[in-house]
Copies of this chain bind each other. A is one copy, B any other.
Amino acid sequence: MSDIISATTTAPVNIATLKYWGKRDTTLNLPTNSSISVTLAQEDLRTLTTAATSSKFAKDNLWLNGKEECIKGERTVACLRDLRRLRREMEDADASLPKLSEWPLHIVSENNFPTAAGLASSAAGFAALVVAIAKLYQLPQSMSELSKIARKGSGSACRSLFGGFVAWEMGSAHDGTDSKAVEVAPLVHWPTMKAAILVVSDDKKDTPSTTGMQATVATSDLFEWRIKEVVPKRFEEMKCAILARDFAAFGKITMKDSNSFHAVCLDSYPPIFYLNDTSKKIIKLIHALNDQEGKIIAAYTFDAGPNAVIYYDEENENKVLGAIYKHFHQVSGWEKVADKVSKFDDCTISMDADMHKGVRKVILAQIGSGPQETAECLVNDQGLPK
């Protein structure tokens, strides 16, 4: 087909340091509290999405990682509806514009990391979907404006529209018009922030986060205090810590908020458990490391699953990775830093020698940028996946 137009973008994964847990509106994905995240570099973790459109396409279609998927999901439909509405406004104002808003879309999306890693891919996925279509439609809206659309796809997706340190301001409007992502600080403000991800094996199926968070909202008696008193204070403190590049303060709030989030999960009825015995051993290792150093040089955080993300500043890399390597050198993922391993500090902390058995791999990552332009394109000249 000759008249296919397309646009492609990447989008990053983000890992919250102040957790999003609880929706006040489940259709619009409006949260019960503001949250903060660090965007990870896309070298290891990114979604690549091409959006193509043509008047010749028969219908909207979506391919994820090479497989055709249903595009009728209400969250995807909500995003497409908003993007087409914005395009239509442009077309209404300028009759010379092609009526892209009326043409079917073909969306082709690929992750560069296995879904099996248990790392939420929906954030990167919806961020890439929205940015690719916005680019295809040449929408003039800012990333913050587009983040409100990505938010309807997956709450935390709104934070993947920026690099560096990102806040999702919960807003107060009923229609969600003020619930959006904003940049707290760009990547260049604190480029030495790094993250080691320990992918923890788990035999059980975790409670999906949407189900889990609404169970917490409905049943936890501690939750109200968390969202009204605990998180708002931490939101301001964490922004200050980031702006001051104060790792100790940033790390302490990060760890406390991860624990607070898992505490309200446990306080739900029935209780929801995401941390397993391996997760707990990792928590103890990080506290032991910080205790030994006499200050916080590493900070763990856990999302709705047992995987640990350990933030640290590059200046302490040999100490932090030394402690992790000592206990998890048996797992894959260290190849990437093979030339650095000999420089890691000898860690004198002794934990359970078998704790590596609960971990499948390590992913060494760092802070990264937001959605990127790319020369790659995932559709062929028939508008189908290459």
Residues of A participating in the B interface, judged by any CB pair closer than 8 Å: 203, 221-222, 224-226, 229-230, 252, 255-256, 259-260, 262-264, 266-271, 273, 276-277, 280, 283-284, 287, 352
Contact = CB atoms under 8 A, between A and B. Distances in A.
Contacts of A221: 225-226, 229-230, 256, 260
A283 B270 contact: yes
Given A255-B269, A277-B277, 13 more contacts: A221-B230, A221-B260, A222-B226, A222-B260, A222-B263, A225-B229, A256-B267, A259-B267, A262-B266, A263-B264, A266-B266, A270-B287, A271-B283
Contacts of A262: 266
Contacts of A266: 259, 262-263, 266
A256 B276 contact: no
Closest A-B pairs by Cβ, 9 of them? A225-B225, A263-B267, A263-B263, A270-B287, A263-B266, A221-B230, A259-B271, A222-B222, A277-B277
A262 B225 CA distance: 16
A263 B280 CA distance: 14
Most interface-central of A225, A229, A267, A276 (chain B CB within 10 A): A267
Contacts of A259: 266-269, 271
B260 A267 contact: yes
A226 B276 CA distance: 24
A184 B266 CA distance: 29
A258 B222 CA distance: 13
Nearest to A221: B230
Most interface-central of A222, A229, A255, A269 (chain B CB within 10 A): A222
29 contacts: A203-B352, A221-B225, A221-B226, A221-B229, A221-B230, A221-B256, A222-B226, A222-B230, A222-B260, A222-B264, A224-B225, A225-B229, A255-B269, A256-B267, A259-B266, A259-B267, A259-B268, A259-B269, A259-B271, A260-B267, A262-B266, A263-B267, A266-B266, A270-B283, A270-B284, A270-B287, A271-B283, A276-B277, A277-B277
Contacts of A222: 222, 225-226, 230, 260, 263-264
A221 B228 CA distance: 12
A225 B259 CA distance: 16
Contacts of A270: 283-284, 287
Nearest to A284: B270
Contacts of A271: 259, 283
